[in-house]
Amino acid sequence: MLGQVAVGNSAASPSGSRFFRYEVVGLHQSGETDKTDYSIRSSASQFIIVPYSRMNQEMQRLTRLG
């Protein structure tokens, strides 16, 4: 569940072009995951890439998913 992805020119702002990649294992389709734009397969890892500025918000969302 670790990873940072750098894209583009990071000189503009410290976190403006940085992304964070979460690897989530063991998610299953539920009422909460139905709200996303993609389906969840329970048999594999799911990679979710979010802007660095949303890293904390996404971690809280993933925690709610269980």
* Percent of the chain clearing pLDDT 70 (strictly above): 48
**What is the pLDDT, as a whole number, of residue 3?**
58
Structurally, the chain folds into a number of domains equal to 1
Region for 8 from its dihedrals, namely left if φ exceeds 0, alpha if ψ lies in -120 to 50, beta otherwise = left
* Percent of the chain clearing pLDDT 90 (strictly above): 23
Locate 61 and state its tokens: 């969302």
Q: Which residue has the higher pLDDT, 10 or 18?
A: 18
3-state secondary structure of 30: coil
Residue span of the structural domain in which 50 resides: 4-65
Of 13, 12, 17, residue with least CA distance to 52:
17
Please, which residues have CB within 8 angstroms of residue 16's CB and are 6 or more apart in sequence? 10
How do residues 39-57 score in pLDDT, each as one tens digit?
665 556 788 899 999 999 9
The one-letter amino acid code at 55 reads M
**What is the pLDDT, as a whole number, of residue 21?**
92
Residue 12 has pLDDT above 70, yes or no: no
Are 66 and 28 in contact by the 8 Å Cβ rule? The answer is no
